[in-house]
Structure 1
Amino acid sequence: MTERTLFISRKRGPGRGRWVTAWQILGHWLARLAIGLTILGLLGWGGASLWYAWRFSGAVAAVEEIPEGEAAMTQDVIQTAIRIVDRFRTDTRYLRDAHAKAHGCVRAQLEVASDLPAQWRQGVFSEPGKTWAAWVRLSNGNAYPQFDKLSDARGMAIKLLDVPGTQLLGSQQARREQDFVMFNHPNFFVSDVAEYRQNVAAQADGKRALAFFPSWDPRTWQIRHLLIAFATLSKAPDSPVDATYYSVSPYRFGPENAKFRVVPEPSACPAYTLPKMNRDQPNFLRDALFQQLSADRQPACFALQVQLQDPNRYMPLEDTSVAWKESDSPFHTVAHLRVAPQDFDTPEQNLACDDMRFSPWHGLEAHRPLGGINRLRKAVYEAVADYRHARNAQAQ
């Protein structure tokens, strides 16, 4: 090494060492910051978990508690729902304000369990072995039709036919129906009518952030409900008949309060494997339903189950954001739903499907809907159905 090279090396050495030392100090500082933030996050998560465990515990009311001003808020929601219907109408049809896209309406049979214990023999489930003819509508949750592969809620609505007895709604006495309206998550992303009004208004105005963060005040932020919404908007199942569907809101079940769900019951049907569907097709869920029922002529089977409320546990009637724990009250199978092979995807049946009205208020006193969200549905479903049916009739 020459004297000049040695001089340059010595000149650069201390400066480079200072840079290495600075980076080491910064690295140590960042590592400590990361550890501190992790510990702070864990403490926050633990504290929040303890708070929620305390908040969502204890006895609850076994009767409805209607808050002041709910009727006025319901009228606001009706106007917002009609705005949504107007906004997403097609060239020829006014669609539903939610669950606008159907994968199909199919004929089915609901058979009450033949060995049903006396406690569970309520309403349409009063007679073991009784078979009801039914329609089943399977759908996406969005207010406008979109590709099935996109994250969305999925819905199932069941309509039992020729049900004797006095209907809940005076205007529906001639229909003789019992509806069960469900979607594929056990709890809802809003608690009550007030939150629903604020949430749906923000989304209708295209201000989705305000749906869960209505102001700068952190006390108004609905982070838990946002997480429920993300969980609800999940990846599409391989077929609409592969999902589990929940009533979310509570109902009467004879003298008690309950929630419903429908779960796939493959053991009640012949073994069947659905061929792989092309999920890039916009209507691949309808394609899957057609493949099973129409092309391969294979039935689909479900169990309809009931979960009774235990008021000594945190199983509230008025807060649909709370899922009732199965450890507090297990589900019990009361009936079996069978969808037979059939040709359902015809223009006539698809139009009839779009015209069908489903509401939890179509039914008997033994299954009366409970809670604020169900009271909201009573007014909104009827008003929106009347609105869109009137306009569709004018367009024909």
Structure 2
Amino acid sequence: MRDQRAPILYHDGVETPAPDEDQVIGEIITSMTRESEATAARYKHAVRASHAKISGVVIGEFQVLPDLPPELSQGLFARPGTHPVIVRFAQGPGEILKDSVSTHRGMAIKVLGVAGETLPGHAADTQDFVFATEPVFPNPDARGFLGSMKQLEAGTKAPEAVKAAVSQTARAIDGVVKAVKGESAPLLDFFGHQPLHPLAEPYYSQAALRYGDHIAKLAAFPATPAQGALADEDLHPGDDPDAFRHAVTAFFRGQAAVFELRAQLCLNLNDMPIEDASKPWSEEASPYRTVARIVLPAQDAMSAPRRAYADDVLSFRPAHSLAAHRPLGSLMRARLKTYQALSNVRHARNVTPEAEPRAIAGVPA
């Protein structure tokens, strides 16, 4: 049953940073930079420190719905209308691996032509949302992520066959957990996500962000019958090392995909904490409610120019944001700094300046 309490109001005191948070974030950046340098030496080209392997990049429309209730009509969603959008689908690791290493996956969204005050350092009229396939993050905060990052950094040097075996084992164990508990274990899903079609799954912000006068988590849910028909269809990444990419490009070759963007409002900070990104917010108490549609028409989702543009020029990060949607909590504060630092490393290494698109026409066809 939906909780009838009003969503809480945002105020600056909702965040409670740990005293050593800046030091911890600095250590995360150092660890991820070392990982990036190791993969850049391997590929002779710098790749993203996470979500490196692209499955497809598409353009379309971001349609803010009309007649939203006051608590949902906030920030970017305060006025109905249509914006150009760029969406990048990718695998989780910061390496270019065969899809037999089936980990969590990401959906990065860049909305163009937004209006309003932006976060410091972001002068463009874009709003980014960076989503992943698990509703929560495996670690509660920056310190927890630092521990996981050190393990990921150490694992970068492991043979790919070992990574595939770890992923397969994690999937198998998570299948048992899901059968017993009815839901996946976030850490197991992180390393061993089921090989489902990338366009048939929901994607989540995992952590909280400001939602105008309120606080929310966001998510994107598949919204066409064609996508729904793919929901229970496992791909076979053991047979095809690029199974996810081939599935995405084949789908967009002949039809459109639609995702509903939904907001889950925070009702209280005890049951729906901001500083602990590993704790689920009850969907029974506060269900996800649709505020926009992402309409992605049929197109070539993997042309060589577009892939190079998405991989080497574009950056998707939480700091590309309106002030009305400022990321909140320890994990998000870490993301604000780490994404910027690692983007700088990648673009400098590749001698390719980062550029925010001013118009959708700038995206290669």
For residue 236 of structure 1, report the CA deviation from its aligned partner: 4.0
Match of 1:180 in 2: 129
For residue 277 of structure 1, report the CA deviation from its aligned partner: 6.1
Match of 1:68 in 2: 19
Using the alignment, how far apart are the partners of 2:285 and 2:322 within structure 1? 27
Maintained 8 Å contact 2:200/2:230 = no
Residue 336 (1) aligns with residue 287 (2) = no
Residue 285 (1) aligns with residue 244 (2) = yes
Residue 83 (1) aligns with residue 40 (2) = no
Gap regions ≥5 residues in structure 1? 1-60, 209-225
Match of 1:34 in 2: none
List structure 1 runs of 4+ shifted beyond 2 angstroms.
Answer: 205-208, 231-239, 269-279
For residue 273 of structure 1, report the CA deviation from its aligned partner: 6.7
Q: Per the alignment, do residues 264 and 227 of structure 1 end up closer, same or farther by CA in structure 2, a change over 3 Å counting?
A: closer
Match of 1:51 in 2: none
Counterpart of 2:82, as a letter, is T
Counterpart of 2:304, as a letter, is P
Match of 1:193 in 2: 142
Q: Per the alignment, do residues 162 and 203 of structure 1 end up closer, same or farther by CA in structure 2, a change over 3 Å counting?
A: same
Maintained 8 Å contact 2:194/2:234 = no
Match of 1:249 in 2: 207
Maintained 8 Å contact 2:103/2:189 = no
Residue 365 (1) aligns with residue 323 (2) = yes
For residue 344 of structure 1, report the CA deviation from its aligned partner: 2.6
Residue 164 (1) aligns with residue 118 (2) = no
Match of 2:67 in 1: 115
Using the alignment, how far apart are the partners of 2:141 and 2:315 within structure 1? 23
Using the alignment, how far apart are the partners of 2:289 and 2:92 within structure 1? 27
Aligned with residue 271 of structure 2, among 314, 318, 322: 314
Using the alignment, how far apart are the partners of 2:263 and 2:103 within structure 1? 25
Using the alignment, how far apart are the partners of 2:236 and 2:186 within structure 1? 28
Match runs of 1:8-87 below 5 Å: 63-87=14-38
How large is the Cα RMSD of the aligned pairs?
2.5
Using the alignment, how far apart are the partners of 2:220 and 2:191 within structure 1? 19
Seq. identity, %: 32
Gap regions ≥5 residues in structure 2? 1-10, 159-183, 354-365
Deviates more, 1:179-188 or 1:85-94: 85-94
Q: Per the alignment, do residues 265 and 363 of structure 1 end up closer, same or farther by CA in structure 2, a change over 3 Å counting?
A: same
Aligned length: 312
Using the alignment, how far apart are the partners of 2:107 and 2:268 within structure 1? 28
Q: Residue by residue, what CA displacement relative to the aligned partner does 1:336-373 show, whole Å, maximum 9, x if unpaired?
A: 11110011312111110102111111010110100011
Q: Which has the higher helix share?
A: 1
Counterpart of 2:334, as a letter, is L
Q: Residue by residue, what CA displacement relative to the aligned partner does 1:28-73 show, whole Å, maximum 9, x if unpaired?
A: xxxxxxxxxxxxxxxxxxxxxxxxxxxxxxxxx9700011011111
For residue 139 of structure 1, report the CA deviation from its aligned partner: 0.5
